[in-house]
Amino acid sequence: MGLEKSQIEEKLPDKSRFMSEWYDTVLYEAGIIDIRYGVKGFIVYMPYGMKIMKNIIKLFEEELEATGHEPVLFPVVIHEENLRKESEHITGFESEVFWITHAGRNKLEEKLALRPTSETAMYPLYSLWLKSYKDLPFKAYQTVAVYRYETKATRPLLRGREFLWIEAHDVFRTRDEAIRQTIEDKEIFYKITYEKLGIPFIHVKREEFDKFPGAEDTYAFDTLLPDGKVLQIGTTHYLGQKFSRVFDVKFHDVDGEYRYGEQTCYGIGLSRILASILLIHGDNYGLILPFDIAPIQIVIIPIYRKDYENDKINKYATEVEELLKGKYRVKLDLTDKTPGEKFYQYDLLGIPIRIEIGMKEVDRNTVTIFRRDLRERREIKLTQLHNYIEISRKEIVEVLRRRAEERLTKSYTYINSIEDIEKYADMGYSLFEAEFCDNEECANELKATTGGYEVRGIFLDKKVGEGSRCIMCGGEARSKVLIAKAY
């Protein structure tokens, strides 16, 4: 923050060799988060990080509302009795739940859970709200923090004991409508994460033994980080009637019968999506932010050569600022730092477009544009500026997405023996497609014998060939799966 050129060069480790060190340095130097709160697994969002986060949240919330979801806000505490109602659910979360046991000096009669997820908070109320088929579909979401006592090593934004997410909880009349919702959830994820944020992801169905506790089916979105590991950044679950039967979410149907609602829930991992944007798009100069979520989209920097030029340049720069204000998040930097210091600072922050204005530009009625993604300068006429920015806003995210997608494609290969993993890993591959028997024991053995590679889930659009064998046990293969190391 306010670093000199030489300091940044010293402070930012080479991202391709030291991703983890690069990440820690950038998180702090760019003012994203502070890890010095002093409670393990809990972090502080700093102003710049929170502004990016709010822009990400806005994109998802707008898309959820456009698809018929409405905002709600449920309490952070959950009745112990409710949390325990669905047996698979509590078994899955039991060891991770934070409990509130005291109020002042008094022990509470019933201890309260901090939500690890909100099914058991929301559905008792859904049972009161939803009476008739006319109340359906009911689609609601909330943007909140959830709490899980992670025992694995925590990493800022990647794995914490408190994390931000959006959770949507929907109820439908029929199974078909609920299944359709899991597809819409994927489309929402594609529209924002892939198209607007430039983050490619792999969509898989989690194995039976790996699904969300209490769900019938779990579908997950995994992205690839530069170190070759995948990160789950979202999930959507078909719950069927498992929770609606337990929480009595039933409705009076068209034919006069009472029926249990068909439910889905959807988790958008905001903290992890932010981490992915920083890690996947950034380079050795710092962050590169997609235009739509950048807190400052355009920065204007005057370049003075002689003192008597300053007034003219400032006047022109202010006119350019006026031209863009209102339509874009724009900042004119008139501080007395050198242009070099400013360039480095805004590169670090990942500002997508920089406009440089000196006497040459004033005289020729132009501006010089520097694109953070391409690191290229070009001079354009002032009359062309709006047009250029509109094209760039689309192009920048396309460039970032293409780079990320190329890395993903290059990392991906098909394997037909377990030995292939080591062989191809040495060649730089990290995502493997293989035939698999869908047994938990086999997945555990695979993880143990390969030094941590996991069966991440089933490719829905890929069928196993006749007579295919499981890559691990040689038994009959049932699915094609993704194998990778994961966060």
Residue 456 CB, shortest distance to Zn ion, in Å, is 15
Helix (H) or strand (E) holding 53: helix 47-66
Q: Helix %, strand %, coil % for the chain, to 5?
A: 40, 30, 35
Q: What is the largest CA-CA distance in the chain?
A: 84
Cα separation of 52 and 312, whole Å? 34
Q: What six digits make up the tokens of 230?
A: 């995948």
Go through the chain and tell me how many residues it has.
Answer: 487
Residues 6+ apart with CB under 8 A from 160: 41, 42, 43, 150, 154, 271
Nearer to Zn ion by C-beta: 344 or 453? 453
The secondary element (H helix, E strand) that includes residue 457 is strand 454-458
Cis before 352 (ω within 30) = no
Of 244, 241, 260, 240, the C-alpha closest to 252 is 260
- Phi then psi dihedrals of residue 158, to 5 deg: -85, -40
Q: Interface with Zn ion by CB under 5 A: which residues?
A: 437, 442, 470, 472-473, 475
Burial of 419 (0-12, 13-18, 19+ CB in 10 A): exposed
Q: How far is the CB of 481 from Zn ion (least distance, A)?
A: 10
Q: How far is the CB of 438 from Zn ion (least distance, A)?
A: 8
In the complex with Zn ion, which residue's Cβ is closer, 64 or 470?
470
Helices 310-324 & 385-410 angle (0-180, nearest 10): 70
Tokens at residue 410, please?
Answer: 């290059």
What's phi and psi for 103, nearest 5 deg? -125, 110
Listed residue (253, 88, 255, 269) closest to 171, CA to CA: 253
Give a three-class secondary structure readout of 341-398. HHHHHHHHHCCCEEEEECHHHHHHCEEEEEECCCCEEEEEEHHHHHHHHHHHHHHHHH
Calpha distance 26→33 (Å, rounded): 9
Strand segments (E) across 99-206: 99-103, 106-114, 138-147, 162-172, 202-205
Of the two residues 64 and 477, which places its CB atom closer to Zn ion in the complex?
477
DSSP letters spanning 196-247: IT----EEEEPPGGGS-TT-SEEEEEEEE-TTS-EEEEEEEEEEETHHHHHT
The residues, ordered by sequence, that sit 6+ positions from 232 with a Cβ below 8 Å of its Cβ are: 220, 221, 222, 269, 272, 486, 487
Q: Does residue 244 contact residue 123 with C-beta atoms inside 8 Å?
A: yes
H or E segment and range at residue 179? helix 175-189
Residue partners of 6: CB distance under 8 A and separation at least 6: none
